[in-house]
Amino acid sequence: MNKVFVLDKNKVPLMPCHPARARELLTKGRAAVYRTAPFTIILKDRTVEDSVLQPLELKLDPGAKTTGIAINAWFKTNPENKQATLIFGANLTHKAFQIKDALTKRAILRRSRRGRKCRYREKRFNNRKNKKEGWIAPSVQSIVNNIDTWIKKLIKLAPIKFISAEINKFDSQKLQNPFISGVQYQQGTLIGYQIRQYLLEQYDYTCIYCGAKNIPLEVDHVIPRTKSGSNRVSNLVISCKPCNLAKSNLDLNQFVKDPKKLAIIKAGLKKPLRASAYVNIIRKKLVLLIESYGLPYLLGDGATTKFNRTKQRYLKDHFIDAACVNEGAGSNVYIKPGFKPLLIKAMGRGDHQVSHVDKYGFPTGEPARGKRFFDFTSGDIVQFTHTLTRRSFRINPRKTGTFNIIDLELRVILKFKDQKLSKQKLNQLVTKIKTMTKTQVKTLKLPASVNHKNLKLVQRNDGYKYSYS
């Protein structure tokens, strides 16, 4: 279980405490709830001067979809064998792929709009985004921003004195042949560098036509440029110079005669952008980011993490990987069996689309003006004002003042409020309802909405959704 973060009365972070201790402090009135997720209390009668702090280590395992976050401490366990203890674990889910899809969708719409038969439009030049040095795609930038937000948040909540992160990737090519980088560097020009890097990884530094390795490799167009093949990654492969010259402006089917090989190449072209390539792009950004906090840090690699984790027989999970990053604290860390991490999901803060459209691009309605209704915004965590259930939940406010309840468990609790369901019974009911059809669920008449007057705010939306299990 995660420890509870503790702040002193001046909001300076103290050592996190056990949930039972936090409960005690809250009932005695010595503390108040500061945040619900991650759960943080603020002490009313204590300052940092009369507390003992042990340094905590913040550990990160960044990924394209999910970043593992862990906080390790050395307190309580035997200081002689230098075993660390995991006191906070979280899996932070990014929305990079959603962002990419949304931007692609917008681009397609705009393109079709320009192609429509409309008034004469003057040609537009130089109106593309000025991609300055250090620019990365919005989807990738969102990952970096998520990680930045969470490091800043956690530094404010816990006495973190050290950061370590898994930045370097295990590179089998480099380990087998350390001199290969020389060859790769020779062909590097700044333009297309990232595409080339991505392709080299995708095709494992191998010519896809003849399988040659450790030689200068080139980017090759599958459908040749002369036959209007595009510059998109899906039309690009890696080949050696002789193969590239031999293929010239032949089609793939003409050049590769072996049907087996042809099938393999075609399958490779359809492969989605590999997560490792994604992480590779953000690597540099993360190093700069971690440097910027001014705390001592250590950058580790994936191979060490995996070695540490398997040696200690922990199962694969993002927060566990994070706890095992680097030598030292990572190689000897105690993680309580069944430790449940906080699940954090990046939700964004909505869009600024002027009109909703259907799949044909036809306008279907306007989004509501403004985002705040009755002092609630989307993603606020709320509770009922009455003591029916203390469960807190996210809301999507409507201007009518009646907000939908999406949380199925909560709807079941409200329905059977007189019976006071046990946790087991509740779970049984919920799993049963999940298997039912929509019409069957309708006949149950579960409460589906709540009036804003019956709600009180617990925590403002901060762009993330929180859950356990």
Interface positions with Zn ion (CB under 5 A): 207, 209-210, 212, 240, 243
Give helix then strand counts, H and E, for the chain.
15, 21
Q: Which is nearer to Zn ion, 252 or 426 (CB)?
A: 252
Asked whether the beta carbons of 22 and 39 are under 8 A apart, the reply is: yes
Q: Which is nearer to Zn ion, 215 or 426 (CB)?
A: 215
Closest distance to Zn ion from the beta carbon of 195 (Å): 19
Q: Which is nearer to Zn ion, 215 or 446 (CB)?
A: 215
Q: Which is nearer to Zn ion, 166 or 220 (CB)?
A: 220
Neighbours of 70 (CB within 10 A): 29
**Burial of 371 from C-beta contacts in 10 A (0-12 / 13-18 / 19+):** middle
Q: Which is nearer to Zn ion, 98 or 187 (CB)?
A: 187
Distance CA 336, CA 306 (A): 19
Q: Which is nearer to Zn ion, 88 or 209 (CB)?
A: 209
Closest distance to Zn ion from the beta carbon of 276 (Å): 23
Closest distance to Zn ion from the beta carbon of 232 (Å): 22
What tokens does 110 get? 């705009």
Closest distance to Zn ion from the beta carbon of 227 (Å): 21
State how far Cα 408 lies from the chain centre: 25
Task: Name the residue among 376, 381, 380 with its Cα closest to residue 402.
Answer: 376
Q: Which is nearer to Zn ion, 206 or 461 (CB)?
A: 206
Closest distance to Zn ion from the beta carbon of 234 (Å): 20
Closest distance to Zn ion from the beta carbon of 160 (Å): 50
Phi, psi of 88 (to 5 degrees): -150, 130
The Cβ-side half-sphere exposure at 20, using a 13 Å CA radius, reads 0
Q: Which is nearer to Zn ion, 112 or 249 (CB)?
A: 249
Distance CA 372, CA 370 (A): 6
What tokens does 5 get? 């973060």
Closest distance to Zn ion from the beta carbon of 215 (Å): 8
Closest distance to Zn ion from the beta carbon of 264 (Å): 14
DSSP string, 6-25: EE-TTS-EEEEE-HHHHHHH
Closest distance to Zn ion from the beta carbon of 228 (Å): 24
Interaxial angle between packed helices 423-435 and 408-415, expressed in degrees from 0 to 180 and rounded to the nearest 10: 120
Q: Which is nearer to Zn ion, 173 or 332 (CB)?
A: 173
**Burial of 216 from C-beta contacts in 10 A (0-12 / 13-18 / 19+):** exposed
The Cβ-side half-sphere exposure at 465, using a 13 Å CA radius, reads 15
